[in-house]
Every structure is written in C-alpha cells, then in structure tokens.
Amino acid sequence: MKIAMIGSGYVGLVSGACFADFGHVVACVDKDPDKIAALEAGRIPIFEPGLDTLVADNVRQGRLTFSTNLPQAVAGADAVFIAVGTPSRRGDGFADLSYVHAAAREIGQALTGYAVVVTKSTVPVGTGDEVERIIREVRPEAEVAVVSNPEFLREGAAIADFKRPDRIVIGAEGAREAEVMREIYRPLYLNQAPILVTGRRTAELTKYAANAFLATKITFINEIADLCEQVGANVQEVARGIGLDNRIGAKFLHAGPGYGGSCFPKDILALVKTAQDAGTPVRLVETVVAVNESRKRAMARKVIQACGGSVRGKTIAILGLTFKPNTDDMRDAPSLAIIAGLQDGGARIRAYDPEGMDQARPLLPDITYAEDAYACAEGADALVIVTEWNAFRALDLARLGAVMASRILVDLRNVYRPETVTRHGFHYVGIGVQGLTEPGAG
C-alpha cells in the first residue's frame, strides 16, 4: 500500500520506517528542509537503537523516501498518517493541536481520491472529529475517512514495540476504513498481535488512559519507596512481592526519581485538562502529576542530605541526563530538576551521558560535561546515578573511589547492591532501601 507519513519526528520516522519494512511504500514528509536533507543523506536526527539500519535498508530498497512536498506524497496515497507534534500548550497544559489542524488542512487540499487519514499523534478526545471537519471544509467533495491509531512506542525499544505490539488500537467509524487499517497491519498477523477496533473517540482516550495508569504505577511505587526508607523495608522486594500478583504485574514498579520524557508529562496534563473541561475531574491523576513534580526536587534534597546537609562549594558528579536509557531525549528529564536543586544549593555540577549531552547543553549550559564516567567522577564530592544506562551498571568502584574527593554514591535507580558499594568504602544511598550505608560495612 502507498502511505504518506506527515511529520518525520520520533513517531513519524519510526512508524514510517517500520511500515516500509513491512513492504509498504512510504513517503515521510516534514516542513524542515534541513531534517529532510539529513535523512536523505542517511543522518538520523534522533537516537533510537536500530533505526539507522532500518531506515538505510528501506531507502536502499526504494520503499522509503523523504520529502518536504506534502501534496506529492498525499496524492494517490491509500493512507495518510498525521504524526506531527502535540506539545503542551502554555498556560493550561492542554495539547497544542495547531500542527495537527494545519496538517489536516494541507492534506484536504492534496487528496486526489479515497484515502484514510489517520491520527498517529497523541491527541485529545474529539480531535478526529475536528480533523474530519477541517478536511471537509477544505474539500467538501473529498472521499475520505478519518481514523485514530494511537502509538504505544517506548523510546529505546520503539522498533520492537512497533513490530511486536501488545495491541493495535484502531478507532474507526466505518467498516471500509477499518479494513484498510487491517490491511496495513496485516504483516503482523503471524505475530498474532491483537487488533482492537473501537470508535474514534474511544481510541483517542485509550492512549491517554494507558499513559496515566502507567504513570500512576510509577508514582505509587515511588511513594512506597519513601515509606520503606522510614520503616526499614526494601522497596525492591515489596515491588517483587506485589508484582507477582497477575492483577498488578511487575512492570513500572521500579522506584526512582520520577517519570519524564516526551509522552507521560504532556499526555497526563492533557488528560487532566480534558477531564476538567468535561466536568469530570480525574483527582487521582491530578495528584499523580503533583507528586511526580515534587519528587524530582526531593531527589536533590536527598543528595544534599547524603553530603552532610550542604553542597555549597562541592562538586557533584551526575551520571545520566536523559529521562531514560537508550534515548537522547531530555524532555522533562528528572535530571533537569535535580541539577537545578543542587545548583540552588551552591553545588558545581559535572555530568556525563552516553547519548544525551548534545541535547542537554542548551538546557544545561552552566555545567561541565565529561568524556566518560570516570572523568565525571574525578575530584567529585558525590556521585549520583540518575539514568540507568547499561554503561553505569558495572563501574570499577575501586577506580571511582580513587579519583573522587569523597566516596559518596547516591543511586537514584538502585543499580547497585548496598553491600557491594560499601565494601569499597563508599557511603551508599539508594531509593527505598535501608541497606548498608556506612563505609566498610558488610
């Protein structure tokens, strides 16, 4: 099938490359000529494991192209996906749909025959109705159907998620467009990926509800971690104990510094605003947002406490800047609030991240960037693990201790066993674990 993907950012590029790998002919469109030129030259603007190879393979086989020419890509397409950004709107946190509406208007002008227009971007309930209204306003005679097909991609594992999804949600109002969508995803038949066909508004809300529930699990276990620290329990064992219950599940029960990234913060704010506008506020979700925001700053206070109550004039080494490993995404990363809190306390910050430093520099211009973890730790009064990159899981603790001014390790992801760290003379502070926190213990 011929597919046009409007928007070549994270969702659009991954989706377009994967559809092309299924055997469809895909044109990825973007208004940014520099981005298109880079993609045509084989330079991928985002870090996602395996994406560069996937794009190169499908470009070479002629199934994947890049262009700034939307009318040319849309003409004759069987399906046109809208995968543009929907950032949080300033002031009220609602999703900014200006890019979606602009894309709908241009698509309507470019349609040449029957096509299914698909909102792949995460959008509030009712957006599909507005997209259809705009298209019909531009082209009243257009033979078109508008479908919702939310994405459920995890950064760092997006290709695997696309090709082996837990489910595919299709929000369609008619049988014809639903059948087109089934045909697009037919290559996943052997994987037995469940396809759930719903109404359009139901599909739109499903994405928001899923993200809100996962964020709630993260926030829940983080609060349990705080309780564990006060009563002498171990949050990792608590999480395993409850996660083995099939009704709860083990995923998203890893205590840490709070959620961030491109999806959870903005999607949950948009859900809160949608519910408020509908007169049915989601109080639980509102609390999740508030607790998560306060937690990030609390992590800075945790580091300060580990340093004896003050970090003024001290050097704090930060390992990991991105909101999660295997991505270069800095959007709403907990590191931003943690570093700000430490700087407010008078600390000097040195940081290292395997992939995120280029993205971090404009956001954190007044910190020092190191070339590796050991250079980051040199002369530091404390080392803080913020993002659990694999490269940080087996550090040479003796080497670290030898170059640091003080042997303090604050592990905000519980990467290490307390007894292992303290055996090397470190003062260890984890999340939700009492552990052995005195140097030499164990």
Distance (Å, whole) CA 341 – CA 345: 6
Catalytic (active site) residue 28: no
Distance (Å, whole) CA 194 – CA 154: 18
- Within 8 A by CB and 6+ apart from 172, the residues are 145, 147, 148, 178, 181, 197, 198, 199, 200
Which one of the listed residues 28, 263, 307, 376 is annotated catalytic?
A: 263
Distance (Å, whole) CA 239 – CA 394: 23
Q: Measured in Å, how far apart are the chain's first and last C-alpha atoms? A: 63
Distance (Å, whole) CA 28 – CA 12: 7
Between the alpha carbon of residue 259 and those of residues 46, 296, 318, the distances in Å are 20, 9, 18
Distance (Å, whole) CA 215 – CA 260: 9
Task: Report the DSSP pairing between strands 79-82 and 115-119.
Answer: parallel
- Within 8 A by CB and 6+ apart from 109, the residues are 71, 138, 139
* Active-site amino acid positions: 263
